[in-house]
């Protein structure tokens, strides 16, 4: 999500599931939607059936998606940037890109400062001693007004286009084959199909998921895909886009509502050096980099002020900076991502943890470390439907001693654990925000069983009781809590309808619900819990509960079905579906048309009544156009192929810089890394269609469909090791091991990489030491290695050994 925000302006699936049916080419890579998003996959099959779309599947494994694809290319886990870099090279060399789109809607024509370059694994500005980059050479060359200089001919050697051409000149099909382990022919066959989307009247979509996000260079990888899509002119087009398929029913909503480093609506978290609201707004309100940039984030003061009014109500006044001082500030450069959090916990710096719908022992890399970290807590609250590995972590020794011999006996663990029975999704109302950014309101199907309580009641009780304690006894930093607005009709269990109305926002002078974020003000007269959700519950009612199936554009946008952020827009960046004069690239597939001085069709991602050439088409970015060159990313403005931190081979492009120099690797004693001498094979982890995460091992149906954990092994390797189907095997890494029966398959191919055969071995997630069906936690294997931008662990591509037991 971090990558898409940097490239296009928003961190979300650009199009939507229903829109995939409009595609002519579907590149599935870093995802396995046939297995993990089977319902959404219907639209892929529709594209195949109705538009004769070609499906290209690039994956280490021959998956169920590969089984229905027109072209499958096996690659070694973690070599996706090499593959996509190869596509960029192929497209530029053969002239297979949508030239007008690239010129009009991207920063290809922008000039970069003197001194920018890339040499032997590092971009310019690398500081070996500090292990970081000085990004000054990565900036645009600005004119006197602070606007970026352009060369519309794209010929200037310092134009982004020429720099890109130069950077990817190394990614020849042969190099791609050498790195990825496919053949050059397989690569060019796929490249040719992908590049058919370069035609103005053709669209190609990219579907990806955790196979891309779970690498130590994940954000760069997704940026590479975005670059391919920009070259093909596929962003903003129906049937185009870079479509992130979220891994949980409401994970899009969870990200939209804030993470450790963002407030709701992707407003950045205040840092310690931003003492006042003014400081904050100055630091976080971007300036336009082009005269025609709409620069929508320029409205940050309206969003932030309205959010503060939502938090603190009447207590937020202009005089007190709308209560800005009550928001906790993150240290100036501190990181509180997953890896850092558990590192701190392990160091004994965290007293307590509230885990809501989260199972860190199962989810987090290096389970042994997770167990050790939790045992350093004084207390932990787990709100869940089932007993989880996390709530039972203290008993791991007894429940799974084989895997955790070094873990302490229950008697030695002092953490006090509270397991609060919580309701499941079907037992509460509220919304799911899906990958398509649709907020879909649902009703509770039944009441929670027994003592189980709905989340809002657990939170309401917790808040009310802690507040009472403060009232009675006082305490540190009371203001944020005491000044919070909690004026719900039932404070102990706020109704989600009230909350949803608050999230939409209202005008405090009239008391009316807002129609959208366009009505937000920075003077404290509007309140809004999340600006991007504004418009979801207007005076007209709950738009999220709509189920209208009319489709006026005929493109499957269904504008009256639920409500889509932002502003019920179904295709993000849809202004880019036509050229600078407003002429659609493809007349048969125009989500937006400029008629009678207005844009009609989908909600325009543009000023609704502005002339086609008035503004740049990517309104969220200061550039006003999409970015090939993205200096926001920490390891370089162009994606470069780096090996996974644990890799069986040397980086074929620059052996001196093997892995991502900026990857975050933790070095606690239990964070061991292995080498290919001891662990010669590549391990990957994945989900199966039969299960959902670590949850359905508790349910009857899924446990029947796939009762057993297994280790998926290429038949070549099985032959070498005389392993037969069903034989018990052990897969081990420097961190731990898992045992299970072998599933020997042809669908995993031995790959020729750098002159040797590299085998990959896979394990499905889903099992654990509690539940109706049990099995090993595969995160026994994985390492505390993270992407530096997003903080996502490298769950794909680590070194393993395989033994018959």
Partner 1 sequence: MQTVAKLIDTSLCIGCKACEVACQEWNDQEFTLGTFGGTYQTKPELEHNFWNLIKFNEYETDGQLSWLMMKYQCMHCQDAGCMKACPAPGAIVRLDNGTVDFNHDNCIGCGYCITGCPFDVPRLSPTTKKVYKCTLCSDRTAVGLEPACIKTCPTNCLTFGTRTDLLRKAEDRAVELQADGSTHAGVYNPQGVGGTNVIYVLKDASNPESYGLPKDPTIPWTVSLWKGPVKLLGSVIFLGGILGTFFHYIRFGPKLEEEHPDD
Binding residues for partner 1 (CB under 8 A):
34-35, 38-39, 41-42, 45-46, 48-49, 52, 62, 64-68, 688-690, 700-701, 703-708, 710, 725-726, 741-747, 773
Nearest CB to partner 1, comparing residues 554 and 726: 726
Residue whose entry in the numeric block shows the structure tokens 């081990």: 732
Minimum distance of partner 1 from residue 64's CB (angstroms):
5
Give the residue among 314, 315, 105 at the shortest CA–CA distance from 229.
Answer: 105
Minimum distance of partner 1 from residue 759's CB (angstroms):
16
Residue whose entry in the numeric block shows the structure tokens 């439907």: 385
Token duo for residue 733: 């890494």
Minimum distance of partner 1 from residue 177's CB (angstroms):
17
**String of DSSP letters for 728-773:** EEEEE-SS-EEEEEEEEETTB--EEETTEEE-EEEEE----SSSSS
Nearest CB to partner 1, comparing residues 510 and 725: 725
Give the residue among 631, 617, 680, 659 at the shortest CA–CA distance from 794.
Answer: 659
Token duo for residue 387: 């007993």
* Residue 293 near residue 282, CB atoms below 8 Å: no
Nearest CB to partner 1, comparing residues 515 and 745: 745
Nearest CB to partner 1, comparing residues 170 and 721: 721
* DSSP β-ladder status, 262-263 and 267-268: antiparallel
Q: Rounded to whole angstroms, what are the CA distances from 236 to 42, 101, 242, 511, 591?
A: 21, 11, 10, 36, 9
Give the residue among 152, 287, 174, 167 at the shortest CA–CA distance from 227.
Answer: 167
The H-assigned helical ranges of 610-744 are: 700-705, 715-720
Give buried/exposed letters for 415-440 (b at 16+ CB in 10 A, else e): eebebbbbbbeebbbbbbbbbbbbbb
Minimum distance of partner 1 from residue 548's CB (angstroms):
22
Nearest CB to partner 1, comparing residues 165 and 774: 774
Nearest CB to partner 1, comparing residues 45 and 580: 45
Nearest CB to partner 1, comparing residues 40 and 591: 40
Minimum distance of partner 1 from residue 441's CB (angstroms):
22
Nearest CB to partner 1, comparing residues 375 and 703: 703
Minimum distance of partner 1 from residue 743's CB (angstroms):
6
List CB contacts of 140: < 8 A, sequence separation 6 or more: 107, 110, 111, 112, 113, 148, 149, 289
CA-to-CA distance for 197 and 203, rounded, in angstroms?
Answer: 5
Task: Using DSSP, state whether 803 is helix, strand or coil.
Answer: strand
Token duo for residue 624: 């006003």
Nearest CB to partner 1, comparing residues 8 and 709: 709
Helix axes 173-180 and 80-94, enclosed angle (nearest 10): 170
CA-to-CA distance for 531 and 383, rounded, in angstroms?
Answer: 28
Give the residue among 350, 328, 327 at the shortest CA–CA distance from 338.
Answer: 350
Minimum distance of partner 1 from residue 703's CB (angstroms):
6
* Residue 9 near residue 298, CB atoms below 8 Å: no
If one counts every other C-beta atom within 10 angstroms of the C-beta of residue 262, the result is: 18
Q: Rounded to whole angstroms, what are the CA distances from 67 to 107, 243, 299, 743?
A: 38, 21, 47, 18
CA-to-CA distance for 20 and 555, rounded, in angstroms?
Answer: 10
CA-to-CA distance for 216 and 785, rounded, in angstroms?
Answer: 7
If one counts every other C-beta atom within 10 angstroms of the C-beta of residue 53, the result is: 23
CA-to-CA distance for 665 and 360, rounded, in angstroms?
Answer: 18
Give the residue among 629, 618, 634 at the shortest CA–CA distance from 286.
Answer: 618
CA-to-CA distance for 167 and 639, rounded, in angstroms?
Answer: 9
CA-to-CA distance for 604 and 596, rounded, in angstroms?
Answer: 15
Nearest CB to partner 1, comparing residues 196 and 461: 196
Nearest CB to partner 1, comparing residues 186 and 586: 186
Minimum distance of partner 1 from residue 431's CB (angstroms):
22
* Residue 161 near residue 109, CB atoms below 8 Å: yes
Minimum distance of partner 1 from residue 530's CB (angstroms):
31
Minimum distance of partner 1 from residue 545's CB (angstroms):
23
Q: Rounded to whole angstroms, what are the CA distances from 47 to 53, 225, 394, 511?
A: 5, 21, 50, 46
Task: Using DSSP, state whether 786 is helix, strand or coil.
Answer: strand
* Residue 700 near residue 755, CB atoms below 8 Å: no
CA-to-CA distance for 684 and 123, rounded, in angstroms?
Answer: 29
Nearest CB to partner 1, comparing residues 53 and 235: 53
* Omega of the bond leading into 414 within 30 degrees of 0 (cis): no
Helix and strand tally (H, E) in the chain? 23, 33
Minimum distance of partner 1 from residue 804's CB (angstroms):
15
If one counts every other C-beta atom within 10 angstroms of the C-beta of residue 551, the result is: 14
Nearest CB to partner 1, comparing residues 68 and 154: 68
CA-to-CA distance for 316 and 310, rounded, in angstroms?
Answer: 9
Nearest CB to partner 1, comparing residues 731 and 744: 744
Minimum distance of partner 1 from residue 628's CB (angstroms):
34
């Amino acid at each position: 999500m971090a990558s898409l925000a940097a490239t296009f302006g928003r961190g979300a699936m650009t199009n939507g599931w229903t829109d995939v049916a409009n595609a002519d080419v579907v590149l599935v890579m870093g995802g396995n939607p046939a297995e993990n998003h089977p319902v959404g996959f219907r639209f892929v099959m529709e594209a195949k059936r109705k538009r004769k779309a070609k499906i290209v599947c690039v994956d280490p494994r021959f998956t169920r998606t590969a089984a229905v694809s027109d072209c499958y290319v096996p690659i070694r886990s973690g070599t996706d940037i090499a593959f996509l870099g190869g596509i960029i090279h192929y497209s530029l060399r053969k002239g297979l890109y949508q030239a007008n789109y690239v010129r009009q809607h991207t920063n290809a024509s922008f000039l970069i400062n003197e001194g920018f370059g890339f040499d032997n694994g590092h971009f310019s500005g690398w500081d070996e001693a500090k292990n970081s980059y000085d990004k000054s050479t990565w900036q645009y060359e600005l004119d006197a007004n602070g606007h970026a200089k352009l060369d519309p001919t794209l010929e200037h050697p310092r134009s982004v286009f020429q720099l890109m051409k130069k950077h990817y000149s190394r990614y020849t099909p042969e190099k791609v084959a050498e790195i990825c382990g496919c053949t050059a022919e397989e690569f060019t066959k796929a490249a040719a199909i992908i590049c058919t989307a370069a035609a103005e009247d053709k669209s190609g979509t990219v579907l990806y998921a955790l196979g891309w996000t779970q690498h130590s260079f994940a954000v760069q990888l997704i940026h590479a895909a975005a670059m391919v899509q920009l070259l093909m002119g596929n962003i903003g087009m129906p049937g185009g886009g870079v479509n992130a398929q979220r891994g949980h029913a409401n994970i899009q909503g969870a990200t939209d509502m804030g993470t450790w480093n963002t407030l709701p609506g992707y407003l950045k978290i205040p840092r310690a050096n931003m003492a006042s609201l003014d400081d904050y707004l100055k630091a976080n309100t971007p300036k336009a980099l082009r005269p025609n940039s709409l620069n929508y984030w320029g409205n940050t003061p309206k969003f932030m002020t309205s959010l503060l009014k939502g938090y603190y109500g009447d207590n937020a006044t202009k005089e007190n900076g709308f209560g800005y001082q009550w928001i906790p500030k993150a240290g100036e450069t501190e990181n509180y991502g997953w890896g850092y959090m558990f590192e701190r916990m392990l160091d004994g710096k965290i007293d307590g943890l509230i885990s809501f719908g989260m199972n860190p022992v199962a989810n987090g890399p290096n389970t042994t470390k997770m167990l050790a970290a939790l045992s350093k807590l004084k207390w932990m609250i787990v709100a869940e439907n089932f007993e989880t590995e996390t709530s039972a972590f203290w008993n791991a020794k007894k429940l799974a001693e084989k895997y955790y011999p070094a873990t302490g006996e229950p008697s030695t663990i002092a953490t006090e654990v509270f397991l609060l029975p919580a309701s499941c999704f079907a037992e509460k109302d509220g919304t799911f925000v899906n990958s398509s950014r649709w907020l879909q309101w649902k009703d509770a199907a039944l009441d929670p069983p027994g003592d189980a309580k709905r989340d809002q009641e657990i939170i309401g009780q917790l808040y009310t009781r802690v507040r009472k304690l403060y009232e009675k006894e006082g305490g540190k930093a009371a203001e944020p809590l005491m000044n919070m607005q909690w004026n719900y009709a039932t404070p102990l269990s706020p109704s989600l309808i009230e909350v949803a109305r608050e999230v939409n926002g209202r005008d405090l002078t009239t008391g009316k619900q807002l129609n959208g974020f366009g009505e937000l003000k920075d003077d404290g007269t509007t309140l809004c819990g999340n600006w991007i959700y504004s418009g979801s519950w207007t005076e007209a009612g709950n738009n999220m509960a709509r189920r209208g199936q009319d489709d006026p554009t005929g493109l499957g946008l269904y504008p009256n079905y639920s409500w889509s952020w932002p502003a019920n827009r179904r295709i993000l960046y849809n202004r880019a579906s036509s050229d600078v004069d407003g002429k659609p690239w493809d007349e048969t597939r125009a989500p937006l048309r400029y008629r009678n001085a207005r844009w009609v069709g989908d909600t325009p991602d543009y000023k609704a009544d502005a002339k086609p050439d008035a503004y740049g088409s990517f309104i969220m970015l200061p550039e006003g156009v999409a970015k090939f060159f993205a200096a926001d990313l920490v390891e370089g403005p162009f994606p470069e192929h780096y090996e996974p931190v644990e890799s069986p081979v040397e980086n074929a492009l620059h052996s001196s810089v093997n892995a991502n120099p900026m990857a975050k690797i933790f070095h606690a004693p239990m964070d061991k890394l292995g080498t290919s001498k001891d662990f010669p094979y590549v391990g990957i982890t994945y989900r199966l269609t039969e299960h959902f995460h670590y949850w359905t091992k508790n349910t009857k149906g899924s446990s029947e469909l796939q009762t057993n954990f297994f280790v998926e092994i290429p038949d070549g390797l099985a032959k070498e090791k005389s392993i037969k189907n069903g034989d018990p095997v052990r897969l081990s890494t420097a961190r731990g091991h898992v045992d299970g029966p072998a599933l020997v398959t042809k669908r995993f191919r031995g790959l020729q990489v750098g002159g040797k055969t590299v085998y990959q071995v896979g394990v499905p997630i889903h099992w654990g030491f509690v539940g109706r069906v049990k099995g090993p936690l595969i995160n026994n294997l994985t390492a505390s290695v993270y992407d530096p931008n997003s903080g996502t662990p490298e769950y794909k591509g680590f070194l393993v050994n395989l033994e018959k037991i």
